[in-house]
Structure 1
């Protein structure tokens, strides 16, 4: 089987440009995604990586990937408009998620692994039940591409960034948008919660970074437990 050092994981195994590399939370697995539409899962012992499984199913380039919190499932996003969930150990495809009308650029599991978030060039985000593959809601409101999205540590909200120059904050239980931030003058390219979930930061193409205290925005007392 193919082997490679961690430093050269991008160099072996794919037939086209490497676009995505993610490491599982337990550091056992590395997943790489390519323009050749495949995902390779590597078994890592900290020194060498051994090819574990080649995952085939997507029909266009890979744009995003994420392991679940316990490192047993891998979600992948592609320009073929689909999200796929795989069993890491067996390499079997568990679900094909098909509700986006544009290429999917990013996926992320919620902190408890129960939900999967996907964001797309169709200007929407979808929330999926990660155990059934059923879409539970579509988050719509941005007027241009969604460029980034993330969960806070509690998993009860989602923050999103967009080329429409805004950042939005959404509830995961009902899909409502609870706040829209419009401080940036350029496309917003990234958004992140602090590790304690108390602040929300974003950066834009105008060179600005804004940090917001969420206790001034969120009145949900459960958020702060």
Structure 2
């Protein structure tokens, strides 16, 4: 039987919007709201540090690795701010901007319609990719920030720094919704509109497709070791083992209990603990490595905030922040060894 998380949160607060994204860096929490407001909070106390507005709504938020800058994206473009001064470095493109990913504290990539644009911390454009076959849906940095992977229709397009045309393409027909890359860059995975996960081995392009999901796969996350890949796409969260020669011919761990998965986040530090948030309003904590392939597991901990979970993030190995669709933000202590 599962044990509840601490019912007494470290702190709780609320925002006047529906949160769609969370990011935590350096003692700060960035919260992106659907209507276009981003909030910065102190991770230790939940006290506000500032608000930032992106006209047209918001899809993603990300703090730079040193927490000095905030970048956000939305349906009508993207923006960058200096956190302390709140100086706006806004690039309102008028195009759908789905994702933002920092490589270093002075280099960030944002999706800008069918291209990806790389900016420095002052908001100046460094370089831009050629147009992809469709709107860019996700981004990932490889090789310690020296290569940018872009997902769009029909595959993954990899760009070296300052090179507009892709140097490597990993093709797979259809619409790619999310990308996850192992920390060592060995495996590249996408979650897809056709209810599949497609996998490439980066060094030679060898491919594998895990199909048969009942729904589209839009959330993927590797743990910090690169061994375990968690994915939505079914009532059960699936966790695939990438050790050895990879997941070919294997079956995943099965983590049941959600009506629909809204967020996945591995605990920092390589402990093997996975947090999952569901649209039915449950937060579960799991240790997938203790389970058996194709067998349903029980969570280590559960918590029900009373409303649909929309985003979650770990502030450190002992605390997790959970946002619900009605604007409630809770920081929960976690006592798993």
Q: Do they superpose with TM above 0.5? A: yes
**1:43 and 2:120 matched:** yes
Which consecutive unaligned segments of at least 5 residues does structure 1 have? Answer: 220-225
1:67-110, Cα deviation, whole Å (9 max, x unpaired):
115100111112x232111112333411222214x311111221
Which consecutive unaligned segments of at least 5 residues does structure 2 have? Answer: 1-77, 82-87, 294-337
Residue number in structure 2 paired with 1:30:
108
User: Do 1:13 and 1:40's aligned partners in 2 also have CA atoms closer than 8 Å?
Assistant: no
One of 258, 262, 267 as aligned partner of 1:189: 262
1:92-138, Cα deviation, whole Å (9 max, x unpaired):
411222214x3111112211122211111111111212234x14321
Q: CA deviation at 1:5?
A: 8.0
Q: CA deviation at 1:215?
A: 4.6
User: Do 1:14 and 1:38's aligned partners in 2 also have CA atoms closer than 8 Å?
Assistant: no
Q: CA deviation at 1:189?
A: 2.2
Say if 1:19 and 1:191 are closer, same or farther in 2 by CA, change over 3 A: same
Say if 1:137 and 1:5 are closer, same or farther in 2 by CA, change over 3 A: closer
Q: What is the distance in 1 between the residues matched to 2:137 and 2:177?
A: 5
Q: Which has the higher contact order (CA 8 A, sep 6+)?
A: 2
**1:126 and 2:198 matched:** yes
How many aligned residue pairs are there? 205
One of 149, 152, 168 as aligned partner of 2:223: 152
1:66-215 map, 5 Å: 66-78=140-152, 80-100=153-173, 102-132=174-204, 134-162=205-233, 164-172=234-242, 173-175=246-248, 176-184=250-258, 186-195=259-268, 196-215=270-289
Q: What is the distance in 2 between the residues matched to 1:124 and 1:215?
A: 23
User: Do 1:126 and 1:135's aligned partners in 2 also have CA atoms closer than 8 Å?
Assistant: no
Q: What is the distance in 2 between the residues matched to 1:109 and 1:131?
A: 13
Of structures 1 and 2, the larger Rg is shown by: 2
Using structure 1 for the length normalisation, give the TM-score.
0.81
User: Do 2:79 and 2:92's aligned partners in 1 also have CA atoms closer than 8 Å?
Assistant: no
Q: What is the distance in 2 between the residues matched to 1:5 and 1:193?
A: 27
